[in-house]
């Protein structure tokens, strides 16, 4: 930090010495890579990046920020579209190195560190044939998505991510570590679920898990935009009486990109897509979603049985 006063310089040196992780500053090797977040529209430059390796590091970083009146941002997956996973001129508390996931198949619970992504989560839970409502993109951070609500494929059957949050361990602005759940610090637990990252830094999440996978049925029917009225009416009528297992279905208007994942003759086509995951046995799901694949002549159809992790 240029032109920093001696007291602040001493405090920064002390923070670096206290971390078992890494303290990165402008000019350090790797700084530009460390400060990047998913949304390239935001080019923020924090004065400090505290790459935490555990809860003790988080406490040190929070105490430093409070004692020095420093603007603070917290990053998990860095996927937030608003760019709130970083800041200009402040301290970025980077949890990405804290990404362990511990699954207890007996109690159907998962304990997840604050920097884990849904890729980390699904990779571990699916080894046990278990899952919980998460995001639609594996690079999304568990923490950011859950604290904002958490809309995913399984919401029709099992609700939002926050509905399945059992407890958290959180470092509040005073540098204290708390457990929050329905039975302990219940007001804080209520506020966290939907309140975003405004109440502290969560170092551990605990979730309920449900039997699902590894093979599930994916709905991925893509229709031409000119068929949208027919497709949307059909989708509406189907969903009016559909079982909860297909609650993750979504309607999306888009343009097929020039991407080798799509046949070249479809590039640039305006389309409406029906997408979802059947939260139950894959064979059962294949029969149940078949009507949604026949609402018009599909331009493309990526539907089929595949692993939950591949869908994510």
CATH code of the domain containing 238 = 3.40.462.20
Q: Which of 160, 187, 211 is the last residue in one of the domains? A: 211
**How many structural domains comprise the chain?**
3
User: Is residue 46 one of the residues assigned to a domain?
Assistant: yes
Residue 256 β-bridge partners: none
Determine which of 23-37, 47-61, 120-134 has the lowest per-residue pLDDT on average: 23-37
Q: Tell me, what's the pLDDT at 47?
A: 95
- Core vs surface per residue 157-175: b (16+ CB within 10 A) or e: bbbbbbebbebbbbbeeeb
Tell me the CATH number at 109: 3.30.465.10
Place of tokens 């508390």: 93
Confidence band (pLDDT; 50, 70, 90) for 84?
confident
Q: Tell me, what's the pLDDT at 194?
A: 83
Q: Tell me, what's the pLDDT at 38?
A: 78
Q: Are residues 230 and 264 in the same domain?
A: yes
* Mean pLDDT calculated for residue range 286-293: 95
Q: Tell me, what's the pLDDT at 86?
A: 85
Q: Tell me, what's the pLDDT at 128?
A: 97
Q: Which of 211, 237, 270 is the last residue in one of the domains? A: 211
Tell me the CATH number at 78: 3.30.43.10
80: pLDDT strictly greater than 90: no
Q: Are residues 283 and 182 in the same domain?
A: no
* Mean pLDDT calculated for residue range 263-279: 95
Confidence band (pLDDT; 50, 70, 90) for 3?
low
22: pLDDT strictly greater than 60: yes
Which tokens go with 84?
């709130």
Interacting residues of 192 by C-beta distance below 8 A, sequence separation 6+: 147, 165, 168, 170, 180, 199, 202
Taking the C-alpha atoms of residue 95 and residue 58, their distance in angstroms, rounded to an integer, is 8
Q: Are residues 202 and 268 in the same domain?
A: no
- 182-241 per-position pLDDT tens digit: 999 999 999 998 877 678 999 999 999 999 989 999 999 999 999 999 999 999 999 999
39: pLDDT strictly greater than 80: no
Q: Which of 79, 94, 109 is the last residue in one of the domains? A: 94
Q: Are residues 205 and 105 in the same domain?
A: yes
Report DSSP state, residue 29.
T
* Mean pLDDT calculated for residue range 265-279: 95
List phi, psi (to 5°) of 29.
Answer: -60, 130
* Cα 242 versus chain centre, distance: 27
DSSP 154-190: THHHH--TGGGEEEEEEE-TTS-EEEEESSSSHHHHH
Q: Please state, in angstroms and as integers, the Cα–Cα distance from residue 123 to each residue in 54, 128, 297, following that order.
A: 21, 10, 35
User: Is residue 1 one of the residues assigned to a domain?
Assistant: no
* Mean pLDDT calculated for residue range 141-148: 91
16: pLDDT strictly greater than 60: yes
Domain hosting residue 263, numbered range: 215-311
296: pLDDT strictly greater than 90: yes
Q: Tell me, what's the pLDDT at 154?
A: 93
Longest dimension (CA), the chain: 70
User: Is residue 174 one of the residues assigned to a domain?
Assistant: yes
* Mean pLDDT calculated for residue range 284-291: 95
Percent of the chain with pLDDT over 90: 77
Q: Tell me, what's the pLDDT at 195?
A: 78
Q: Are residues 144 and 68 in the same domain?
A: no
- 241-261 per-position pLDDT tens digit: 999 999 767 778 899 999 999
Q: Are residues 64 and 28 in the same domain?
A: yes
Q: Which of 92, 93, 74, 78 is nearest to 39 (CA)?
A: 78
Determine which of 101-110, 143-152, 172-181, 224-233 has the lowest per-residue pLDDT on average: 143-152
Q: Tell me, what's the pLDDT at 74?
A: 93
């Amino acid at each position: 930090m240029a032109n920093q006063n001696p007291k602040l310089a001493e405090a920064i040196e002390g923070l670096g010495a206290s971390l078992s992780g890494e303290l990165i500053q402008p000019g350090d090797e790797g700084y530009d890579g460390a400060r990047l977040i998913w949304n390239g529209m935001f080019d923020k430059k924090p004065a400090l990046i505290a790459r935490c390796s555990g809860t003790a590091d988080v406490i040190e970083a929070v105490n430093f920020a409070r004692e020095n009146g420093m603007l603070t941002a917290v990053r998990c997956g860095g996927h937030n579209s608003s760019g709130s996973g970083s800041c200009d001129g402040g301290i970025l508390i980077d949890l990405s190195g804290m990404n362990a996931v511990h699954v207890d198949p007996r109690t159907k619970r998962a304990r997840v560190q604050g920097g884990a992504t849904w890729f980390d989560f699904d990779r571990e839970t699916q080894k046990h044939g278990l899952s919980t409502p998460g995001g639609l993109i594996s690079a999304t951070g568990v923490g950011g998505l859950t604290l904002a609500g958490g809309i995913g494929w399984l919401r029709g059957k099992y609700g939002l991510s926050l509905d399945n949050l059992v407890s958290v361990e959180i470092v509040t602005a005073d540098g204290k570590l708390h457990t929050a759940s329905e039975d302990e610090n219940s007001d804080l637990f209520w506020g966290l679920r939907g309140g975003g990252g405004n109440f502290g830094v969560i170092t551990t999440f605990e979730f309920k898990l449900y039997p699902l996978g590894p093979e599930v049925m994916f709905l991925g029917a893509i229709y031409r935009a000119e068929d949208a009225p027919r497709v949307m009416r059909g989708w509406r009528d189907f969903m009016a009486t559909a079982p909860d297992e297909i609650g993750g279905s979504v309607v999306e208007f888009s343009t097929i990109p020039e991407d080798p994942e799509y046949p070249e003759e479809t590039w640039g086509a305006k389309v409406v897509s029906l997408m979802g995951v059947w939260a139950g046995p894959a064979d059962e799901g294949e029969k149940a979603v078949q009507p949604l694949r026949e609402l018009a002549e599909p331009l493309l159809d990526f539907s089929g049985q595949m692993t939950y992790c591949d869908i994510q």
